[in-house]
Amino acid sequence: MGMAVGGKKGGAIADINVTPMADIMIVLLIIFMVITPMLQKGVDVKLPVAGNTKEKKDEPKTITVAIKEDGQTYYGGKPIENRAELVPLLKEGLEELPEGSKVIFLKADEGLAYSEVMKVMDLCRAAGVEEVALIAERRVQS
């Protein structure tokens, strides 16, 4: 078996060599498969499951407050040492939002006591929040 090196007089080969392109595509696929799970926004909280949820688009100017099972509170993904610090942070964040959309998104761990969630909601109301949207996992229909 011989190797084809072109036409009768050593001309150029007209076939496309796709091996390098396939190698690049496989490397890109692996990179995206590894990085995509790391792109989760916010704090890792085990959300409760709800059957009647609405899909909400991610908007760049949203305020998210998260509460982990141990009671640690996060504002925009950053931990807060004392919950009393939440009120001035929320007031400052609400000033940047457009008028009439003073809504925050609250992520609370499913194992967290209801009273702890209510305490954070009271702090949000004290800061001037008009609506508190609770984030939950969508129940899978089977």
59, 104 in Cβ contact below 8 A?
A: no
- How many helices (H) and strands (E) are present in the chain, helices listed first? 3, 7
141, 50 in Cβ contact below 8 A?
A: no
Residue 2, domain member (yes or no)? no
Residue 95, domain member (yes or no)? yes
Alpha helices in 2-140 (DSSP H): 19-35, 86-96, 114-126
**0.85 surpassed by pTM:** no
Residue 24, domain member (yes or no)? no
Residue 119, domain member (yes or no)? yes
Residue 116, domain member (yes or no)? yes
What tokens does 31 get?
């990179």
Domain interval for residue 95: 49-138
Residue 124, domain member (yes or no)? yes
Q: How many domains does the chain have?
A: 1
136, 50 in Cβ contact below 8 A?
A: yes
Provide the CATH number for the domain around residue 78.
Answer: 3.30.420.270
How far is residue 46's CA from residue 81's CA, in Å, rounded to a whole number?
Answer: 21
Model confidence pLDDT, tens digit, residues 48-71 = 666 666 666 656 677 888 898 888
Residue 37, domain member (yes or no)? no
pLDDT of 1: 47
Count of other CB atoms within 10 angstroms of residue 85: 13
pLDDT of 40: 62
Residue 34, domain member (yes or no)? no
